[in-house]
Chains A and B, each alone.
Chain A
Amino acid sequence: MRPDARILSAYLDGEVPQRFATEIEASLQRDPGLRAEYEALVALRARLNVDVPFDIAESSRRSWTEIVRRIPDRRKDLWHRRVAVPLPLFAAAAAIVLVLGGALLWMQLAQPDGTTPAIARGGDIDLTISVGGEEMERLLQWLVDKNMLGEVNIQLPEQRFQIVGEPVFVRPAQYEGGRLR
């Protein structure tokens, strides 16, 4: 069977299954008219296959430089990107973050023995404040005024003071105007 021009065109492009290709090759051998048709297609392809009149490698380098110059830094651009998040997904994510955050905070504040946190009890707080001279006096007075003075430990510099006798507990009520009552 004589292949039509459409099949010849596909054959030129290597787009014909192998079993047909063998038949077409045989037809081309025995049919001069068909061979002339095929050669016309080959000649047309050769005529079209004039490469571009410029250096592709050079063009590629030029374009690459231009593209790199024009593309903004992706890292800077990340903050300006729009991200579409469905509202239900966003709400679920927010809820999970809140629950996990709350649990984490509770675990950090909880005592190792399993008791409730100190702040929740409203109890003792250890606080170290470095003051000296008149500031110390004013601090003590302020604590008395606010009725907040429980126990105050004062660490004296050892080089300047000699410890005589035992330490004495001083209650807020015993202290007034910078001296003991």
Chain B
Amino acid sequence: MQGFVSADIFERVYEHVYPIIIRIAYRITGREDVAEELCQEAFIKYYERIDSFPDTDQAKYWLIRVAKNLALNSAKRSGRERRAYERAYHEPSRLLRTGEDEVIRKEQEAEVQAALRLLPQKMRTVLILKEYGQLNYREIGAILGITEGNVKVRVFRAREHLLDLLKEGDVHAS
């Protein structure tokens, strides 16, 4: 990759955007290894068309959009696989307990993931972009192709929905 201006741009975008998209991909898929793989795929796609982005902001929005789509597709696939596995063995997946702190941390983590999973996809995506993507409404709108007003409504509804779920105690880490 050396010897090209593009390589320098690529590295700068990577440094800035990777921490954002790995968090988003993880919150959608719930798996570190899968999230990493998806981020790598997104950056390789970006590298292949690096010259077509007028500035690094556009590259960032594009990368977030690609990572988000890859993660949603992956989550759908793994959701189907998990359900099939659980049906076959009648055994929900469990956390590995290796120490009190670790258990608490994992339970909190699993609770967050479970709560997010309960949201309808449109609400979940917009809330993940807001909470983990460090993005404002305008940027989220640019990524999802919707208006700022629409982003505002979806974020609000997602929070309202989550509050209801947590109040009713419907969130169980599985």
Q: Which residues of A contact B (CB under 8 A)?
A: 5-6, 9-10, 13-15, 40-41, 44-45, 47-54, 56, 59-60, 62-64, 66-68, 70-71, 73-75
Contacts and interface: CB of A to CB of B under 8 A. Distances in A.
Interface string B22-34: 1100110000100
B44 A70 contact: yes
Per DSSP, are chain B's interface residues mostly helix, strand or loop, or mixed?
helix
B153 A59 contact: no
Contacts of A10: 137, 152, 155-156
Given A52-B26, A56-B18, A67-B43, 5 more contacts: A48-B127, A59-B32, A63-B39, A71-B47, A73-B1
B118 interface: no
Contacts of B3: 75
A40 B166 CA distance: 11
Contacts of B26: 52
A40 B163 contact: yes
Contact of B155 (A9, A67, A70, A74): A9
Interface of A is mostly: helix
Given A45-B131, A67-B43, A56 B137 contact: no
A53 B113 CA distance: 12
Nearest to A14: B136
B136 A15 contact: yes
A44 B159 CA distance: 8
Interface string B79-110: 00000000000000000000000000110110
Contact of B156 (A5, A47, A62, A73): A5
Contact of B153 (A6, A45, A47): A6
A13 B136 contact: yes
Contacts of B19: 56, 60
Contacts of B166: 44, 47
B9 interface: no
Interface string B103-147: 001101101100110000000000100110000110000000000
Contacts of B155: 9-10, 13
A53 B109 contact: yes
Contact of A59 (B1, B22, B109, B160): B22
